Amino acid sequence: MSHETNSAPSGPSVHSPASGGLSNEAQEIAESLHDDGVSVPVLTGTVRLVDMVLIAATGVIAAMTEAGATQLGLVHGIAVAIAMLFSLAFFQASDAYQVSVMRRGLSQIGRIGAGWTLVFAMIFLIQMTTGLGSGLSQNWIGAWFVLGMTGLVSARLVVYRIVRHWMESGRLERRAIIVGGGTAAADLIHELESQSDNDIRICGIFDDRANDRSPPVVAGYPKLGNISALVEFSRLARIDMLIVCIPLRAEQRVLQLLRRLWVLPVDIRLSAHTDKIRFRNRGASFIGTVPFVDVVEKPITDWDMVAKRVFDVVFASLALIALFPVMIAAAIAIKLDSKGPVFFRQKRYGFNNEIIDVLKFRSMYTEMADPDAKSVVTRNDSRVTRVGRFIRKSSIDELPQLFNVLRGDLSLVGPRPHAVNAHTDNHTWDEVVDGYFARHKVKPGVTGWAQINGWRGEVDRPEKIQKRVECDVYYIENWSILFDLKILFMTPFSLFNTENAY
């Protein structure tokens, strides 16, 4: 944990990372794309889980309703396990977990019904050829078949309605922006739209070139601005992918674009359809038959995002329970030491540069509080109360941020959220460090890799913020649940280093 009550040049407004100046059309489109998309791997994984739960549950219910039966026996359990394995295989083989099938009602139900029937055909085949399961009651098998079919079909009708709704609202499509216009972009759009399994929704085109070289409308899609406007657009809209439609041989132009775009929390693909290059699977991807070079992957997505959220909720809840007495004691001490509220709120940068309110215990006198972080806290600062000095050195002042974690503004582990006016030597930190905003590609954390490595407290030299950002980028590129556990375990030991914590 660390303290980020940093200063800013006197009298500035909140610094904006980009000022491309969006047109009214671009602003309207960005606002219409503000809703989060739905992860396809998470959706299909959840449907698989629901299918397996239904198969097991209907097997148990069938056993319970069988005359004289009160519980599943071992042979029943083996039969249920075999049915689950066969179901997964048959449903997968029939494409029942493809989104294109889930959005079609009758086709989906037909595949599920056929797959479930094949499962029982295999069970009967095993009984006849090996004798395994010969002791199973035919009444139980029949009841299980009917209950399972009813449950699976009913569940798929619900899935159909949900998927259709998400498709209509655009939440199940990958939202893409094309960088670069002209004929190359038009050809790419036509190729993408001709792909039967295309899930790309093109939301607009951005290009630095003038209209004489890059028309204002390409294949029916408007050019919404230049690259600076694209960065601002991506902060407002939930974009999944940037497709750079520039020939790979234009190396310098591609590199210049990537230096400006890699800080965004999106996938970046170089379209290779005009270069006619043959790719191996590694480092390349395809949408239908259209090849792309994978340049930047969006960090912590799909099931990784689910796993990290579960990790946050579980460990933040445990931490709140364990540290509740400490927090109560801190609140009482703050109240007895000086007048004013117990908590202090400050504007910080969150995921994708969104501004969030971070909660802390108040460590300064109320009349000297600095919510805009205009003046850095220094050693023996007269604004800090007696209790404030202790809770800042021990990082107890950061504990209320566990509520931010439960609310979803912060993660338990990640780059620390910096104040929006944070600066060093009268320069904001994005001016000090090239690619500074790349640290905002994931949610900020209560603790992080930079703090574990000693980069905690006052930032009075450019080298300090440079090292922090290097640690943050390393964390993002090497994230795993085990890495989070390691940082969490090491955090209490790192608090002994109080050299820069005042």
The reported pLDDT for the residue numbered 277 is 42
Lowest mean pLDDT among 171-175, 197-201, 215-219: 197-201
Which pLDDT belongs to residue 232? 85
Q: pLDDT tens across 282-305, in order?
A: 455 666 666 566 566 778 877 888
Q: How confident is the model at residue 114 (pLDDT cuts 50, 70, 90)?
A: very high
Alpha-carbon span 79 to 137, nearest angstrom = 12
CA distance 452 to 395: 13
Least confident window among 10-19, 84-93, 141-150, 359-368: 10-19
- 60-64, 444-448, 492-496: which has the highest mean pLDDT? 444-448
For the cut 60, the answer to whether the pLDDT of residue 6 exceeds it is: no
Structure tokens at 190: 């036509």
Dump pLDDT digits (tens) for 142-193.
Answer: 999 999 999 999 999 999 999 988 888 778 888 889 988 888 888 888 888 8
Q: Residue 150's pLDDT is what?
A: 95
pLDDT higher than threshold 80 for residue 112: yes
pTM for this predicted structure: 0.63
CA distances from 181 to 188, 205, 227, 238 (A): 10, 7, 12, 21
Lowest mean pLDDT among 43-47, 69-73, 81-85, 295-299: 69-73
Alpha helices for 94-218 (secondary structure H): 99-102, 105-130, 138-168, 182-193
Give tens-digit pLDDT for 17-27. 333 478 888 88
- The answer to which of 54-58, 73-77, 288-292, 492-496 has the lowest mean pLDDT is 288-292
Question: Residue 412: pLDDT band by 50, 70, 90 thresholds?
Answer: very high
Specify whether the CB–CB gap between 215 and 182 falls below 8 A: yes
pLDDT at 72 over 90: no
Burial (0-12, 13-18, 19+ Cβ within 10 Å), 486: middle
Q: What is the pLDDT of residue 296?
A: 65
What's the Cα-to-Cα distance from 397 to each of 79, 288, 362, 389, 447, rounded to whole Å? 56, 52, 7, 10, 13
The pLDDT of residue 426 is: 58
The per-residue pLDDT for 410 is: 92
392 in Cβ contact with 501 (< 8 Å): yes
Residue type, 264: L
> Whole-angstrom Cα distance, residue 134 to residue 245?
63
- The architecture that CATH gives domain 173-296 is 3-Layer(aba) Sandwich (3.40)
Rounded CA-CA distance 48/374 in Å is 52
Q: For residue 221, is pLDDT > 50?
A: yes
Confidence check: pLDDT of 117 > 80? yes
Binning pLDDT at 50, 70 and 90, where does residue 430 land?
Answer: low
Weakest mean pLDDT among 13-22, 187-196, 318-327: 13-22
Tokens of 30: 């960005």
Residue 30: pLDDT band (50, 70, 90) is confident
Of 113-117, 170-174, 195-199, 388-392, highest mean pLDDT:
113-117
What is the Cα–Cα distance from 428 to 190, expressed in whole angstroms? 43
Six token digits for residue 220: 């029916």
In sequence order, what are the residues at sequence separation of 6 or more whose Cβ sits closer than 8 angstroms to the Cβ of residue 229? 18, 20, 21, 22, 23, 26, 206
Q: Mind listing the pLDDT tens digit for each residue in 262-284?
A: 778 888 888 765 544 443 444 55
Give the residue with greater pLDDT, 370 vs 446. 446
What are φ and ψ of residue 314, in 5° steps? -65, -50
206, 224 contact by CB (below 8 A)? yes
Say yes or no to pLDDT of 68 above 60. Answer: no
Extended beta strands in 366-474, E state: 411-413, 423-424, 427-428, 445-447
State CA 145 to chain mean position distance.
39
Q: Which long-range contacts (CB under 8 A, 24 or more apart) does 305-312 make?
A: 305/39, 305/42, 306/42, 307/481, 308/411, 308/481, 308/484, 309/408, 311/412, 311/481, 311/484, 312/405, 312/406, 312/411, 312/412
> DSSP for 22-41?
--HHHHHHHHHT-SPP--HH
- Local structure of 218: helix, strand or coil: strand
What are the residue ranges spanned by the domains of the chain? 40-168, 173-296, 302-494
> Starting from the edge strand earliest in sequence, which strands make up the sheet with 217-218, in order?
217-218, 221-225, 200-206, 174-179, 241-244, 267-271, 290-296, 284-287
| Gap between the Cα atoms of 250 and 275, Å rounded | 11
| Structure-model confidence comparison of residues 406 and 209, the more confident one | 406
Q: What is the dihedral angle through the alpha carbons of 402, 342, 345, 416, rounded to the nearest 10 degrees?
A: -40
Least confident of 3-7, 163-167, 433-437: 3-7
